Amino acid sequence: MKKILKWTAILLLVGFVIIQFFRIDKSVPEFDKNGDFTVVNSTDAAGIKILKNACYDCHSFETKYPWYAEVAPISWWVGEHIEEGREHVNFSLWTSYSAGDQAEIIEESIEEVEEGKMPDPNYVKQHPEAEMTDANRTALLNYLKSVGGSSVGTGTEEGEEDHD
């Protein structure tokens, strides 16, 4: 029995070492930094800070990977989460969205923040700077509502690529 446990531990250790070679893709494609949501909507420094602290790790190309994103298999979960977040909205590519998509994204973002779904509660556990106090939530919502009309129309024209 002791021998079986020893070999099982060795195999698990070897397996753990091997999976470390399967890294997540952290590369950032070339993009126009002037098309970022916070550049286009630079009216509220406090709102921008909260948005960046609470949303940008998963919803932009400005991801700050935590130390545990270096360790598989946790890194795979982190990478998948970021990829999924960027599929919903990537604030770094704001001006590539149509005006209709921009309006919908802002509306959905407001709804997610109001309902406490975003930032993801699991994310907040590891990133206290993303904590949504009542004051932060109000400031972020005010910022999003204030740019709701001004950011619409800065994207692509009707009929161009849609990023749903």
> Is the pLDDT at 162 greater than 80, yes or no?
no
When mean pLDDT is compared across 14-23, 90-99, 123-132, 136-145, the lowest value belongs to 123-132
Reported as a pLDDT band with limits 50, 70 and 90, residue 148 is confident
The whole model's pTM is what? 0.82
Reply yes or no: is the peptide bond before residue 119 cis, omega within 30 of 0.
yes
| DSSP secondary structure code for residue 69 in this structure | G
Q: List alpha helices for the chain, DSSP H.
A: 2-19, 37-40, 45-55, 74-88, 99-114, 121-126, 134-150
